[in-house]
Amino acid sequence: MSTDLFSPVTIGDIKLTNRMVMAPLTRNRADEHNAPHDINVTYYQQRATAGLIITEASQVSPEGVGYPGTPGIYSDEQVAGWKKITDVVHAEGGHIFIQLWFCGRVSHPDLLPDNQTPVAPTAIQPAGETVTFEGMKAFVTPRALEINEIPGIVAQYKHAAERAKQAGFDGIEVHAANGYLIDQFLRDGTNQRTDQYGGSVENRMRLLNEVLDAVTEVWPGNRIGVRLSPENSFNDMSDSDPSEHFGYFVSQLNVRNLAYLHILERDMMSKSVNVDYRDLRNRYNGLYMANSGYDKTRANTSLGNGDSDLVAFGVPFLANPDLVYRYQQDLVLNDADSDTFYGGTEHGYTDYPFFEKAVT
């Protein structure tokens, strides 16, 4: 039997009806308490036919915030909001993991408690600007974390994992990609520490390993995913040898018996591909989730060739709540309105038509 998007797959003890994953998509539509509310419930319910939904990145603590209007998973109110979402996704027969997030150096004092300085492995100011409640502002120079502070960060991930279980999620994804805190430790362009968290690949992976050790006390490994982005330069990131370094990281993750490894297979900023992702896939013994602007044809080719086991779709799911049905029937897709990607109301969020409505 050939493997394609519509063939079932089992993640741990979860049976997915298809291999189409809704990628994590920041939409900046949480309420004033960084909690999900009714509009978010509708959004996720509409897309529950995905084999698996990975939620938008959700901060593990107030100190982990990096953008306005993003949800967290640490307060009672946030848990209650997410519980409404997991309930409706499950009622529709779907499955949903939450992505755990700590933004680190790409945050801004305007977004953090008591206007504190963002933290990072090393005090290197990113080039560029970030979004605040008052508009775009230049990144600031972050504060390098002291060694005795790092256990507190790890504890925040564990607490968020516990809260995710209370909220009814099927599992969690640790966001170690796209220039956020764990990725800042992994890559040598942002990690210039000389202690046990810097220098060698073993040391640079220490924070990720400690986070995984902590959340595995809450969830079994086969309910935990990890996302990596070896060559993504988003958020002013770089690494001297991503193929070699991430080859090591991926190989080390084999001991974890994870639900899956989720890889962004390109640079978001230039769309270039300079890493051999088939080699990374070969180094990993578990389920490999590909993410790189895939369409149906590319995804089926990847699955058929054994280059991936699942494929994550971002913008297509954003604009097409019934993407699974449209791909199954080879139907035309809705066009995405990039002006409504971030923030706003129902427009460009929950008002994209299903195919039946689009033709009547």
> Is residue 160 a contact partner of residue 73, using CB atoms and an 8 Å limit?
yes
Q: Any residues with CB less than 8 A from the CB of 120 and at least 6 apart, and which?
A: 104, 105, 142, 143, 144, 145, 181, 184, 190
Backbone CA torsion sign across 212, 140, 265, 94:
positive
Contact 259, 226 (CB under 8 A): no
Catalytic residue among 67, 180, 288, 352: 180
Q: How far apart are CA 52 and CA 100, in angstroms?
A: 16
Are 236 and 178 within 8 A, CB to CB?
Answer: no
Name which of 35, 63, 73 is nearest 160 in CA terms.
73
Distance CA 233, CA 38 (A): 34
The separation between CA 28 and the C-alpha centre of its own chain, rounded to angstroms, equals 14
Residues 6+ apart with CB under 8 A from 187: 204, 237, 238, 239, 242, 245
Catalytic site includes residue 43: no
Active site amino acids: 180
